[in-house]
């Protein structure tokens, strides 16, 4: 290694390490504070202190578990909804021939450009007229459609259709000649081949649904119906200075996303670094 | 199943004799596509009911007095006028312009520089680990990030404790409660539109990495042979090649940034007074505090048109710069 290379490497790592430390600092702070009581916190708020106060987690879970369950319900129903609805439509748009295919496709895809801020108010009135306000359906239906939070079927159909499109036509012809019905072709050939794309769509939908605050805060009023984002804010309001239980609650709320990323990081990083996404 | 296999024969026949399909009557073609329509129907129903109808409704109701319960009455441009004449309006516009300018510069530079630095690392394994560190904040729910920053800015929070620890207690502030600091506190944290401080957005990082990796090695070698140093190569060779990625991040940040006020809603509700308000938050409060859905629709329509115009300008300018 020449002196110049050594010099470059030193600078590179100094900058990167500083940025990594600053980026991860909030996560560190959240996790170490979650096992402290206030005496330990004000004594040393940066480091690890013993003994660990695991009771913070019991206290936090007791309060946030209903929000947690609601979030899991809303997220799983809307993810399944988006995946099922958009896989069917994307397959039809990519592989089936029918009158009006192009028009219907562009009609749906145009919605990617439709900002949620335009649709939010009438969506609220619509949900109100359906008598669904203050219920989990008030979140699930608009989340499937997209807009209020990002995600939704329009973007999913766009991604999935391009994947279905990239499968060589011969594969489908061969299956049909072998006597497979159109439904069998879809289920046994189409779906398995685009599984990575379905995973990507599902991840994005989970992230936007798990995180949505604005729409949720407008449509849910009863605390037993709260999902995590809004539940955590009210939890914070009740514990303004109980840092330990508060941070334990935040850590618990992060766990499903930790699990999701542990399972999919490689796909996510490689999918995005290899794909040529640009405008 | 019988239904499916009958449509299989129809679709199969259509696929086998492409030319034959055109000769069938319109009715037959509709019938042949019935499986396809069945597949598309759920998506279409959801989108018509929950996206198209609300969008048209907003565009119409912006011109009406509407409380969401009784029938709307025509109001002409009065909602738009009262939005612009609202004493909060100049503050809201000033805030959004200031915040967006700061966040755009950050979103276009910080992740790009980090992407470049990481690509300079020899070991692919270390490259992966570095990227992983910057992606990790994704696992923290957005609201948690915002609440953590609330904790940083609190009276006895991290920032004031840090100042005390380094004997600068006289610099302690009520970071979110004082009109002089609230807007800058919200800007500094990032967190919604742009990644939280230090602003290395994982998504942007991966997009820029993809762009930089796609540049052919010969191009960079040619520059090196010509005696260009790493900085020169970056600015004259690499930067022009990733315009597409920069434009993508630019458009996404603008679209998302104009609409997103989650952190303001959680941290200050626009206060103290209305010093930290933005147009999106004004809309939210008009609709959900004042039940003035007509006024809220007018603000929504205005923001939609601004987003649309900025996106079109971006695409136009992009196309022109590629043509030359």
The pLDDT value recorded for residue B10 is 44
The CATH number linked to A107 is: 1.10.3720.10
The pLDDT value recorded for residue A147 is 63
Angle at B245 between CA B240 and CA B247, to 5 degrees: 90
Instruction: Please tell me the total count of domains within chain A.
Output: 1
The pLDDT value recorded for residue B2 is 37
Average pLDDT over residues A59-78: 92
Q: Of B56, B143, B199, B297, which to mutate for an interface test with A (greatest number of A Cβ within 10 Å)?
A: B143
Which residues neighbour B189 within 8 Å (Cβ) at sequence distance 6 or greater?
B149, B152, B153, B196, B197, B263
Report the alpha-carbon distance of residue B3 to residue A273 in Å, rounded.
43
- Smallest CA–CA distance, residue B11 to chain A, in Å, is 8
Tokens 């699930």 belong to residue: A140
Report the alpha-carbon distance of residue A117 to residue B282 in Å, rounded.
12
The pLDDT value recorded for residue B3 is 39
pLDDT confidence bin for A103, thresholds 50/70/90: very high
B259: left (phi over 0), alpha (psi -120 to 50) or beta: alpha
Report the alpha-carbon distance of residue B234 to residue B207 in Å, rounded.
17
Q: Does B64 touch chain A (CB under 8 A)?
A: no
Q: Is residue A2 part of a domain?
A: no
Q: Is residue A225 part of a domain?
A: yes
Q: Does B275 touch chain A (CB under 8 A)?
A: no
pLDDT confidence bin for A123, thresholds 50/70/90: very high
Q: Does A1 touch chain B (CB under 8 A)?
A: no
A169 touches B73 (CB < 8 A):
no
Question: Per the structure block, which two tokens stand in for B324?
Answer: 């030359």
**Which numeric CATH code is attached to B82-323?**
1.10.3720.10
- Partner-chain contact A121 B196, CB within 8 Å: no
Measured CA distances, A24 to A17, A250, B13, B155 (Å): 10, 15, 59, 23
Report the alpha-carbon distance of residue B151 to residue B128 in Å, rounded.
31
Q: Does A31 touch chain B (CB under 8 A)?
A: no
Confidence check: pLDDT of B296 > 70: yes
Confidence check: pLDDT of A57 > 90: yes
- Partner-chain contact A120 B209, CB within 8 Å: no
Question: Which residue of chain A has the CA closest to B197?
Answer: A23
Q: Compare A118 and A1 and report the one with higher pLDDT.
A: A118
Report the alpha-carbon distance of residue A194 to residue A167 in Å, rounded.
9
Confidence check: pLDDT of A93 > 50: yes
A22 contacts in chain B (CB < 8 Å): 197-198
Residues A165-183 have pLDDT tens digits of: 888 888 888 888 888 888 8
B33, B120, B318 member nearest A98 (Cβ): B33
Radius of gyration in angstroms for the set of CA atoms belonging to chain A, rounded to a whole number: 24
A217 contacts in chain B (CB < 8 Å): 265
Q: Does A22 touch chain B (CB under 8 A)?
A: yes
What is the share, in percent, of chain B residues with pLDDT greater than 70?
90
Confidence check: pLDDT of A260 > 90: no
- Partner-chain contact B247 A278, CB within 8 Å: yes
Confidence check: pLDDT of B8 > 60: no
Confidence check: pLDDT of B154 > 90: no
- Residues of chain A numbered 54-83 and touching chain B (CB < 8 Å): none
Which residues neighbour B194 within 8 Å (Cβ) at sequence distance 6 or greater?
B103, B106, B107, B201, B253
The pLDDT value recorded for residue A128 is 92
- Partner-chain contact A257 B42, CB within 8 Å: no
A86 contacts in chain B (CB < 8 Å): 43
Report the alpha-carbon distance of residue A226 to residue A83 in Å, rounded.
24
Average pLDDT over residues B262-266: 91
Q: Is residue A20 part of a domain?
A: no
Question: Per the structure block, which two tokens stand in for A10?
Answer: 């030193």
Which residues neighbour B269 within 8 Å (Cβ) at sequence distance 6 or greater?
B281
Confidence check: pLDDT of B16 > 80: no
> What is the DSSP secondary structure assignment for residue B76, as one 8-state letter?
T
Q: Is residue A91 part of a domain?
A: yes
Count CA atoms within 13 Å of residue B179 on its CB side: 5
The pLDDT value recorded for residue A262 is 83
- Partner-chain contact B40 A258, CB within 8 Å: no
B138: left (phi over 0), alpha (psi -120 to 50) or beta: alpha
Respond yes or no on whether ipTM tops 0.90: no
Secondary structure of residue B290 in the 3-state scheme: coil
> What is the DSSP secondary structure assignment for residue A189, as one 8-state letter?
I
Q: What residue spans define the domains of chain B?
A: 2-62, 82-323
Q: Does A128 touch chain B (CB under 8 A)?
A: yes
Question: Per the structure block, which two tokens stand in for B90?
Answer: 């100049």
- Partner-chain contact A26 B148, CB within 8 Å: yes
Average pLDDT over residues B308-321: 82
- Residues of chain A numbered 185-214 and touching chain B (CB < 8 Å): 207, 210-211, 213-214
């Amino acid at each position: 290694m020449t002196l110049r290379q050594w010099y470059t490497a030193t600078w590179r790592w100094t900058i990167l390490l500083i940025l990594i430390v600053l980026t991860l600092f909030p996560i560190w702070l959240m996790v170490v504070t979650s096992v402290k009581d206030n005496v330990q916190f004000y004594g040393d708020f940066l480091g690890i202190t013993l003994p660990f106060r695991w009771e913070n987690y019991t206290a936090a879970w007791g309060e946030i578990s209903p929000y947690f369950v609601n979030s899991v319900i809303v997220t799983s129903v809307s993810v399944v909804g988006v995946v099922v609805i958009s896989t069917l439509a994307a397959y039809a748009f990519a592989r089936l021939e029918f009158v009006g295919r192009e028009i219907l496709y562009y009609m749906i895809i145009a919605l990617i450009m439709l900002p949620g801020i335009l649709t939010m108010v009438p969506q609220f009135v619509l949900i109100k007229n359906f008598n669904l306000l203050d219920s989990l359906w008030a979140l699930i239906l608009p989340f499937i459609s997209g807009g209020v939070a990002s995600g939704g079927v329009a973007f999913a159909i766009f991604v999935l259709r391009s994947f279905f499109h990239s499968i060589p036509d011969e594969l489908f012809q061969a299956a049909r000649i072998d006597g497979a019905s159109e439904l069998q072709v879809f289920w046994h050939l189409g779906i398995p081949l685009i599984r990575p794309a379905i995973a990507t769509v599902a991840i994005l939908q989970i992230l936007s649904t798990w995180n949505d605050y604005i729409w949720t805060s407008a449509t849910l009023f009863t605390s037993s119906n709260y999902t995590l984002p809004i539940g955590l804010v009210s939890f914070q309001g009740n514990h303004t200075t109980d840092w330990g239980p508060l941070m334990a609650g935040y850590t618990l709320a992060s766990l499903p996303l930790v699990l999701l990323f542990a399972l999919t990081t490689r796909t996510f990083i490689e999918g995005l670094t290899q794909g040529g996404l640009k405008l | 199943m019988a239904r499916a296999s009958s449509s299989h024969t129809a679709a199969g026949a259509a696929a086998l004799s492409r030319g034959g399909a055109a000769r069938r009557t319109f009715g037959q073609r509709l019938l042949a596509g019935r499986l396809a329509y069945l597949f598309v129907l759920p998506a279409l129903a959801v989108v018509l009911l929950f996206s198209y109808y609300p969008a048209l409704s907003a565009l119409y109701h912006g011109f009406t007095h509407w409380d969401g319960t009784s029938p709307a009455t025509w109001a002409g441009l009065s909602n738009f006028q009262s939005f612009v004449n609202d004493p909060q309006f100049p503050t809201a516009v000033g805030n959004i312009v200031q915040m967006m300018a700061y966040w755009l510069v950050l979103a276009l530079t910080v992740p790009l520089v980090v992407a470049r630095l990481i690509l300079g690392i020899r070991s692919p394994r270390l490259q992966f680990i570095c990227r992983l560190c910057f992606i990790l904040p994704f696992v923290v729910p957005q609201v948690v990030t915002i609440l953590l920053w609330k904790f940083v800015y609190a009276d006895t929070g991290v920032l004031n404790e840090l100042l005390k620890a380094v004997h600068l207690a006289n610099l302690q502030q009520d970071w979110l409660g004082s009109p002089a600091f609230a807007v800058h506190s919200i800007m500094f944290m990032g967190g919604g539109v742009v990644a939280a401080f230090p602003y290395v957005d994982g998504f942007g990082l991966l997009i820029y990495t993809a762009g930089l990796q796609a540049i052919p090695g010969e191009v960079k070698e040619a520059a090196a042979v010509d005696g260009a140093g790493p900085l020169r190569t970056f600015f004259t060779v690499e930067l022009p090649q990733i315009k597409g990625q920069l434009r993508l991040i630019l458009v996404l940040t603008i679209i998302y940034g104009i609409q997103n006020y989650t952190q303001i809603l959680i941290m200050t509700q626009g206060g103290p007074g209305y010093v930290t308000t933005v147009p999106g938050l004004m809309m939210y409060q008009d609709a959900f505090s004042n039940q003035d859905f007509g006024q809220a629709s007018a603000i929504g329509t205005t923001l939609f048109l601004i987003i649309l115009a900025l996106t079109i300008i971006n695409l136009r300018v992009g196309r022109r710069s590629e043509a030359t």
